[in-house]
Structure 1
């Protein structure tokens, strides 16, 4: 078996995520309150005293977009308001007694590893890691390799690692259909879901099974940790590559100023730390964290009871009385333990959180218990993001959970915050292009960029920035902001496809290095950034020519926002380029001092 690119990252250890301290939480709440107050004052001033009568349509459109953006801020603040970790409990040897099915002396646990077209070099370490998982006392562990590619090489690999191999004749239902097939050919009380690259840590079960002592817990989700994220390149390395004979004093100056900063670290904005340690962890206070598929463990009873309930439209008591024997359920047509959808994990979470009577609970375990591979090219990144966006938008338009019967109002607000971010495709383009419109026409969205504007605008921005810094626990917010703008063309494409009735597809995220098609996926960002740059030049020219309405304040403010927007748009192409040149031979090390070489391994 050939050596895989990720083998050089095996030494990396997972991070530990401490809880938010009481002092930091109090400071975050104080700054969030300030932000809400300043936001209310700004919007009141915006609608009552700042609309530009000379460009009323444009001014009202921008003010509306700002108001919708403010509503998203309020929902996001609710989503991340407070941490509420579920107390950990040791894995119980008699945990099956906490289910409503016939108790058994042995708790059976199945590990499902799903694969479609991934190579043996990706799947083999995953099987080895599953084999090394510690099995608690009085538990029986069985590993299943669910191959939707029906490949003999995978069957041989499963046999080599002592796993049961399952495949099927069709790929109906994508990953959800693959999991359904596995559930119908297994009988474990609990099911661990792994993607082809999800390598469980040995104590995965010891650290997650204990939560199921609460009989209402349906699943436990653990964080995704991408252990192969590139470290990036320092400024001195980049300078030495493109100007190897530059003066020594210049290299030393660059080294002193930027020695520790790395460019193109996580070039494809894949690090999910903020999502898991801030958003998912804080949704857990209301048992509202949703399933993210890989590195999660599920109670079989909850999966089938919810599926039967959704299919038969009966009440909960009737669903409990239905036979959940996998052999018999295999012939029950239309049953979807995991909903057949490109976002099967999110869709199934919505169904479980909507069970009337006694809702199933989800638990978020805050520490990584597995490691995974990140997208290694712009093509892989865009494929993944388009899939996420298309699945979420399809749920919004056709299976909206906000008005679903049986869901608690707290859960509704959490899901509203999740889906509202995808709806921003309606107003983010307007905010993105508003500075360009002003520089082209000389029309501003406010009467004037006066002292009154800055007195209302700047306190709100500063308070919000401080609140976000305190709430993020030191995690970088830059990537999230870049992601919201860099993925805008993908979001628009996904919405257009879903609105036209195209069902979102489930292409597996490539796990191999790829550069050939990167530029095709990055072309929209580059073209839009180029258009904004040309508009900036037009605006400067019109100001220098003394055109009416082209004041210095209008020029400076809109150039600032135009530059900011271009920076966000170019983040992904720039990082992709640096990542690509970082793979080539590094002859520039010959020009570095010993200290500089140490900073550029």
Structure 2
């Protein structure tokens, strides 16, 4: 049943409703006031920088700096927009009593003991459900553990053996075809659910338009101070609440409940769009083939007429496809017109042959020619047409590759028509390059979550962020693993940005587009950080000032913006610790840059992506990952040297005292942000009797 088939009487809950809480409303209006002040002051500063304070004589550093500042201003604007409709939800109604649920525990190579703990906890979930272990490693010991626990076990079938596997998305897509629950609770192997997780989330689905309920991901093995920045209280709090206000809270891969109907609709729509794209490519290349062949056809000939008719038919088909006409009707009509055009050429040739034979029959009889070179039938072997099928049988080919190749060659009129006919019949309706024709979860990146929810929103479904701790996870316990995890998140996000940019995705509202874009935009910060690190160094070492302004004027524009911006974060966080997240946002600039570059290479140039599954257990000590930290170390050393050189310049030259002080403070701030890695390097893992931290983590 479609969400649009549900009548008003059944819609007992509306996820768009907002609780009437005077205190919450007052806090929201205060937050909006600060957002307005922050945005106004930000643009006041950056406009002044562009128009009045760029040192054009040193444009090579002045322009990158003001561009980086403009990036930060846009970032502040997007954050303010996110916070504008931040919502705190009241408890949902009771779930529908007949709601059926499948609990999916996705695993690849995690220890059997760890997965078993999660599966045992999933069995204890109070709401009636079926628990399934989705073992992408196809391990006999995992199957045996599932049987012992009394839970279901699903692994890939043989149809996946020579096809793309699509990591976790493919694992879940495979399981979707083997289960029947109306709703799905998706858990990572290390996310231990609490018994009430379904009781507290299924009620949102009383609204027939809700497709996703996401809950926070909080980790139980994080030491005091959160040295690796694993927790993300700002994201799994104000940011997701802000996105929720715009109906843009998105799927984060685990601790989420999804509606099967919405996922299957995604799969079907995706299948149709893939086939439409294949047909569009075929029509485009076929048209190019025909146009090239037209240049070779004699004017007024039957071939020229047939090619003109075929070109017209292809144009009409492309227009019909663009107008959204049914795909089957478009292709069927086109095939009939192309076949008719080709038949016309053949008919004309047969009539010509018939006329020639009649003329030959009217000639006077001559001496009967003596056969040479064997039986007359032997001459057929030398026919320029050649055999229809080779001795080894028909040869398999990729229609897209063959057609694209033919589109750049000049073919005879008859060969051109035949190529078009073959191409139209070879469109891969069954998607033989995939194990499944229908893929509900998005497979366009190494992280399946964001793209899936983005497509849901594009189809008109709603999402909910439920801010309650309902599952306890395990965070990385060493810096190397944490860096691997951050890289994978960033790579997946940037793949989605490059393949399905939300600003141009169909179906979403303008606010939803900006909510997704703001998350993707944040991973570009690595490039701005390089400029923020380089600018004070260049001044302290070489005396080159990128800002052409005297100090009081600069401070008059900059300080109000900086202070109000910090106030915005404090009010938005509502007391949550966010400093650790801010430190890691700057300190991991090489990770963000590497993610952007590698994702670009993968999407644009099809280069393999350096991808690794995040280990879910504590790794054996391997020493400090100096290689992964080399750029931060280089930056820190250069910053310290720059301070020393700057102080020497002031003492010796007795010049630029104020500028030196400002830039030394700037360097000190950068070093303070980078210093978070000192504690991360020294961290040796969680000790169970430590107090669990609640803060830190980067915003997604």
1:20, 1:473 within 8 Å by CA — same for their partners in 2?
A: no
Pairing 1:334–2:442 present: no
Partner of 1:125: 117
1:110, 1:142 within 8 Å by CA — same for their partners in 2?
A: yes
Matches within 5 A, 1:453-492: 453-492=554-593
Partner of 2:34: 31
Aligned-partner Cα distance in 2 for 1:509–1:88: 34
Do the aligned partners of residues 332 and 118 (structure 1) sit closer, same or farther apart at CA in structure 2, a change above 3 Å counting?
closer
Pairing 1:225–2:215 present: no
Partner of 2:512: 411
Partner of 2:180: 187
1:86, 1:284 within 8 Å by CA — same for their partners in 2?
A: no
Partner of 1:432: 533
Partner of 2:81: 78
Structure 2 counterpart SS, 1:273: coil
Partner of 2:141: 153
Structure 1 counterpart SS, 2:508: coil
Pairing 1:294–2:254 present: yes
Pairing 1:110–2:70 present: no
Matches within 5 A, 1:523-542: 523-542=630-649
Partner of 1:304: 264
Do the aligned partners of residues 335 and 20 (structure 1) sit closer, same or farther apart at CA in structure 2, a change above 3 Å counting?
farther
Structure 1 counterpart SS, 2:490: helix
Indicate which of 150, 171, 174 corresponds to 1:162. Answer: 150
Indicate which of 519, 524, 527 corresponds to 2:625. Answer: 519
- How large is the RMSD of aligned CA atoms in angstroms? 2.8
Deviation per CA, 1:283-313, whole angstroms, max 9, x where unpaired?
Answer: 1112210100111011111100111012113
Aligned-partner Cα distance in 2 for 1:392–1:519: 25
Shift in Å, 1:43: 2.2
Partner of 1:595: none
Do the aligned partners of residues 471 and 317 (structure 1) sit closer, same or farther apart at CA in structure 2, a change above 3 Å counting?
farther
Indicate which of 654, 663, 671 corresponds to 1:566. Answer: 671
Structure 2 counterpart SS, 1:362: strand
Unaligned 5+ residue runs, structure 1?
1-17, 95-105, 232-264, 320-327, 587-601
Aligned-partner Cα distance in 2 for 1:73–1:164: 47
Aligned-partner Cα distance in 1 for 2:177–2:569: 45
Indicate which of 177, 180, 183 corresponds to 2:170. Answer: 177
Number of equivalenced pairs? 507
Do the aligned partners of residues 581 and 201 (structure 1) sit closer, same or farther apart at CA in structure 2, a change above 3 Å counting?
closer
Structure 2 counterpart SS, 1:76: helix
Indicate which of 573, 592, 612 corresponds to 1:507. Answer: 612
Aligned-partner Cα distance in 2 for 1:221–1:84: 14
Structure 1 counterpart SS, 2:446: coil
Aligned-partner Cα distance in 1 for 2:63–2:152: 62
1:110, 1:192 within 8 Å by CA — same for their partners in 2?
A: yes
- TM-score w.r.t. the length of structure 2 is 0.68
Matches within 5 A, 1:280-429: 280-313=240-273, 333-340=436-443, 341-355=445-459, 359-429=460-530
Whose radius of gyration is greater, 1 or 2?
2
Structure 2 counterpart SS, 1:21: helix
Shift in Å, 1:47: 2.4
Aligned-partner Cα distance in 2 for 1:74–1:20: 25
Aligned-partner Cα distance in 1 for 2:260–2:532: 46
Do the aligned partners of residues 448 and 83 (structure 1) sit closer, same or farther apart at CA in structure 2, a change above 3 Å counting?
closer
Shift in Å, 1:442: 0.4
1:221, 1:365 within 8 Å by CA — same for their partners in 2?
A: yes
Aligned-partner Cα distance in 2 for 1:486–1:19: 40
Indicate which of 193, 205, 209 corresponds to 1:212. Answer: 205
- The list of structure 1 runs, each at least 4 consecutive aligned residues, that deviate by more than 6 angstroms after superposition, is 314-319, 328-332, 581-584
Aligned-partner Cα distance in 2 for 1:87–1:462: 33
Aligned-partner Cα distance in 2 for 1:120–1:318: 49
Shift in Å, 1:81: 1.7
Aligned-partner Cα distance in 1 for 2:80–2:94: 34
- TM-score w.r.t. the length of structure 1 is 0.79
